[in-house]
């Protein structure tokens, strides 16, 4: 998750406009999926 977040941060810093690429959106979805999984494990 940390690696995905780092890659996403780098991409967003490179882009100076307010639009996300398909690749960035896919990374966001993967980060969200992983964070939900971690939260679910912590609740058990």
Looking at per-residue confidence, does 24 or 37 come out higher? 37
Q: Give the separation between CA 5 and CA 34, rounded to whole angstroms.
A: 11
Looking at per-residue confidence, does 26 or 14 come out higher? 26
State yes or no: pLDDT of 37 exceeds 90: yes
DSSP structure class, residue 18: S
Record the pTM: 0.69
Q: What is the mean pLDDT of residues 30-40?
A: 94
- Encoding tokens for residue 17? 């406009």
Q: Give the separation between CA 14 and CA 7, rounded to whole angstroms.
A: 11
Q: pLDDT tier at 9 (50, 70, 90 boundaries)?
A: confident
Q: What is the mean pLDDT of residues 13-20?
A: 77
Count how many Cα atoms sit within 13 Å of the Cα of residue 4 in the half-sphere of its side chain: 14
């Amino acid at each position: 998750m940390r690696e995905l977040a780092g890659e996403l941060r780098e991409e967003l810093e490179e882009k100076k406009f307010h639009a996300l690429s398909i690749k960035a959106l896919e990374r966001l979805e993967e980060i969200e999926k992983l964070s939900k999984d971690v939260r679910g494990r912590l609740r058990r």
